[in-house]
Structure 1
Amino acid sequence: MARGFLPLPDARAFRLENARAPACLVSAGGVAADADGFMRIDVMIENGRIASLAPAGGFHLDGEDVPRVDCGGAIVLPRLVDIHTHLDKGHIWPRRRNPDGSFMGALAAAEADREANWSAQDVARRMDFALRCALAHGTGAIRTHLDSIGKQTAISWPVFAEMRENWAGVIALQATALLPIDLVLDDEPQFRAIVETVARYEGVLGGVTYLGAAPDAKLDAALDRLFQAAAAEGLDVDLHVDESLAPDARTLSRIAQAAIRNRFRGKILCGHCCALATMDEDDLARTIDLACEARLAVVSLPMCNQYLQDRASGRTPRLRGVAPLHELKAAGIPVMVASDNTRDPFYAYGDLDLLEVFREATRICHLDHSDRNWLRTVAATPADVMGLDRHGRLEAGDPADLVIVRARAMTELLSRPQSDRTIVVAGRAIDNTPPDYSELDDIVGL
């Protein structure tokens, strides 16, 4: 069983010494951060929890009969938080490929696979496989969108509820209903049933706004209805927004206006927001001001958006298709990055590895040479949006859920995959071997 590069004692209590941890995720005070924003600390672990944190060498308990592990300056992170995934679509690529790599090709392929194959057993098998991948890489919490249209709502939500119960205490799970925004007005009985299902399973209400068409009065009415339904049930909202580079894709401001108009007090997360990258500076500034007023949060999905956006056969892409995270963050909007799709028609690759996501986001979005607290985008910030106060940080009293990597500095962290990382759950190092793809051969047609 692979348990990472750093052997840990199988003991009720032990101390990690001489570790580096990101200052933006650590509650310990009085420790100076280095040029990368890391501080040297010792971590005392007792009974599966972080008992205390101190500056490296600061415990001064030489007579204490506790095993000590010298980390040698290795980076210690909390287990990470993946706030935008699609566990119900994951790993269908071998049986349903995207024919041309386009967004519409992905949409058609995923819809066809859903209609043909997404039984409760099929969804459960693939979802459990994906969660074991995420666990092996060090993820501690996941929010997944669930296609909630037609017969699929009644299939996927009970499967998710069972998965959430089975994984309780290992990975915290949340689910968001994913439906086309038109359905809110065009099929009121189905929309009511979806809202009731989301409320019953303590989920989040979501939807997809128009991909390229200009927003209109119908969109405004649909958003009003969605926010009113969410408020009536006490639900948060999580929307796919402007996942397009079309110049008419401008729904983020309409979402903000609807939230303000309806005095919505729940949390609102907007995913993708690709079209913001095509705005001129004045339009972008006005949109960001509205987003601030409405208290929106934004998650960018850099790997999937790079795969789909600005794609044309025989032509090198010109645009990155990612939201302007620097500008949003500077305005005070909570920003995050996440995995999105995994080995399905929307993204042929990925493994729910948030360190990979952060590494690629740093390169794609130029997160380097700027603020030093970008690690919050895969930890503390998504934990806050999900309402998880015991995730995404290193704080005394929290579960000892850690990711320890061999890297000692940011350039080392981002230069290699860190595939020998040590994953700690409740104070115990776990087997961090991802499941073998062959496990799914019988359901994906290999």
Structure 2
Amino acid sequence: MQDTPHGPVHGITASLTDGTLADVELLSGPDGVVRVARIAPVSDRNPRDHTARADPQWLDLRDFVLTASAAEPHAHLDKAFSWTELNPPLGDLDTAITVWRAGSVRLDEESFRRRATRAITTLLRNGITAVRTHVDVPPGPDPLRATRALVGVREAMRDLVTIQIVALANPLTPTEVVVEALDAGADLVGGAPHIADDPRAEVARLVGLAESRGVGIDLHTDEFLDGDHHTIDHFADRVADWPADRLRTAGHCCRLDTMPLDELERVADALARASVSVVALPITNLYLQGRHGPSKGRRGITAIDVLRDRGVLVTAGADNIRDPFNPVGRADPLETASLLVTAGHQSPYTAMSLVTDAARTALGLPAGGPVVGARADFLAVRGTDVLDTIATAPADRVVLVNGSIVARTETTTWTAAPAESRAGAPDHATPAPYVLETS
């Protein structure tokens, strides 16, 4: 990589997802938003002859693939990196919930702030410039300490990352506490109706609260595989008449993976009519689901293909990062994309779209990336094509927000390799010494 300029850039030379090497020119508008002004294919691949290199604010990333910056549509920044603090056993969803409820009482506001800051900076470095995070508002003393911490992180990072906060109520959370979380700065109403004694009543409670506040809603929905019950169709019915610009999202939706096809198609049609976005969460659901009972061994990933075929906006996220709900995770959109390919049976191009363009749309963000008129929010990853970047997930990346570089990572590797034999040396000659191959 060339010496990368700091701050705003005038343009980028990089490979697009279709393999075209192109110059992407940027222009700042009167509203302060930097957008893509022109895209021109580069016919001469010799960097010494490329005129754009004369501009010190032009990024020469011809060994990189350029996409819109990624978005994380479903995170838990309050839980991130708590695995080592809580030391939970391996287990299913019920185990994780039990461990978190018992252990989180020991975590103070500073713990939430510190771990969330670590998570958000890792997400940004990996190319994620927008995050929707669910934050618990449990009953008991000071239920808003995590919300306050996340609001503080959002303010500190506001010029770098867009953060949306969902007040995640459990069925025992009093409605007035969720209202207090919204007053404290949470943006959307959230919850997990499927774990309530009366799931449909819990859907009604949470949707009603969102309606009374005029805000969006993002529910953990039917995060189970066994049984003949579900809440997602009731959710779709309740928000079907909402204004078009009010966000409504269903996360997990694991039950759709085991639903009969005729019922699945009926539910998918209802979701499409109601404009409910669905978030697939492969890494956490692969870890938590399919451990017991008749669904043992099932993937637990929602029915991506049927949903998309029926017109539902589907996106994908990483969910948890090294907490009781998932002991691993790199906070990397390319990790999610890789799992979409291997476990979700998506093409590399669809997988990349689900963590970039579709994720941005689900969060209500403007289009970004190398498209004329789009906002200059970019992720550039070293590689030859989309498949290469997903397969290798290199750390070498450049991240831009509104036309300015906000993160870059460069790596150097060396590998011992045998040097070529000396010309004319006999076969029995002493082998040549090893040399270092660098990249």
Higher-Rg member (1/2): 2
Q: Which blocks of at least 5 consecutive residues in structure 1 are unaligned?
A: 23-33, 435-446
SS in 2 for 1:168: coil
Contact 1:220 1:258 in 2 (8 A): no
SS in 2 for 1:94: helix
Do the aligned partners of residues 152 and 279 (structure 1) sit closer, same or farther apart at CA in structure 2, a change above 3 Å counting?
farther
Q: Which blocks of at least 5 consecutive residues in structure 2 are unaligned?
A: 412-439
Among candidates 111, 114, 136, match of residue 101 of structure 2: 111
1:42 to partner: Cα distance: 1.0
Contact 1:80 1:392 in 2 (8 A): no
CA deviations on 1:401-423 (whole Å, 9 max, x unpaired) are 42211212233122212122233
For the pair 1:44 / 2:22, whether they are aligned, the reply is: no
For the pair 1:159 / 2:152, whether they are aligned, the reply is: no
Q: 1:175 is matched by which residue type in structure 2?
A: I
Q: 1:110 is matched by which residue type in structure 2?
A: W
Contact 2:131 2:164 in 1 (8 A): yes
Q: 1:154 is matched by which residue type in structure 2?
A: L
Q: 2:190 is matched by which residue type in structure 1?
A: G
Structure 2 distance, partners of 1:380, 1:210, is 29
For the pair 1:20 / 2:12, whether they are aligned, the reply is: no
Do the aligned partners of residues 69 and 174 (structure 1) sit closer, same or farther apart at CA in structure 2, a change above 3 Å counting?
closer
For the pair 1:57 / 2:45, whether they are aligned, the reply is: no
For the pair 1:358 / 2:348, whether they are aligned, the reply is: no
Correspondence for 2:181: 197
For the pair 1:349 / 2:328, whether they are aligned, the reply is: yes
After TM superposition, the runs of 4+ consecutive aligned structure 1 residues lying more than 6 A away are: 58-61
Correspondence for 1:438: none
Q: 1:54 is matched by which residue type in structure 2?
A: I
For the pair 1:274 / 2:250, whether they are aligned, the reply is: no
Correspondence for 2:356: 379
1:256 to partner: Cα distance: 1.5
SS in 2 for 1:418: coil
For the pair 1:209 / 2:193, whether they are aligned, the reply is: yes
Do the aligned partners of residues 219 and 312 (structure 1) sit closer, same or farther apart at CA in structure 2, a change above 3 Å counting?
closer
Correspondence for 1:124: 113
Higher relative contact order (CA 8 A, sep 6+): 1
Contact 2:71 2:359 in 1 (8 A): yes
Do the aligned partners of residues 63 and 421 (structure 1) sit closer, same or farther apart at CA in structure 2, a change above 3 Å counting?
closer
Structure 2 distance, partners of 1:278, 1:64, is 54
Correspondence for 2:415: none
Do the aligned partners of residues 249 and 272 (structure 1) sit closer, same or farther apart at CA in structure 2, a change above 3 Å counting?
farther
Contact 2:290 2:296 in 1 (8 A): yes
For the pair 1:322 / 2:301, whether they are aligned, the reply is: yes
1:200 to partner: Cα distance: 4.7
For the pair 1:421 / 2:417, whether they are aligned, the reply is: no
1:13 to partner: Cα distance: 4.5
Residues matched between the structures, number: 398
Contact 1:13 1:44 in 2 (8 A): no
Correspondence for 1:334: 313
SS in 2 for 1:210: helix
Q: 1:341 is matched by which residue type in structure 2?
A: N
Structure 2 distance, partners of 1:289, 1:50, is 35
Structure 2 distance, partners of 1:46, 1:287, is 43
1:58 to partner: Cα distance: 8.5
Structure 1 distance, partners of 2:280, 2:36, is 34
Report % sequence identity. 26
Do the aligned partners of residues 69 and 243 (structure 1) sit closer, same or farther apart at CA in structure 2, a change above 3 Å counting?
same
Q: 1:416 is matched by which residue type in structure 2?
A: T
Structure 1 distance, partners of 2:275, 2:407, is 38
Structure 2 distance, partners of 1:345, 1:61, is 51
Q: How does 1:281-320 map to 2 (within 5 A)?
A: 281-312=261-292, 318-320=297-299
RMSD of Structure 2 on Structure 1 (CA): 3.0
Structure 1 distance, partners of 2:73, 2:26, is 27
Structure 1 distance, partners of 2:199, 2:217, is 16
Q: What is the TM-score of this pair, normalised by structure 1?
A: 0.81
Q: 1:386 is matched by which residue type in structure 2?
A: L
Contact 1:205 1:230 in 2 (8 A): yes
Q: 2:192 is matched by which residue type in structure 1?
A: V
SS in 2 for 1:355: helix
1:132 to partner: Cα distance: 1.3
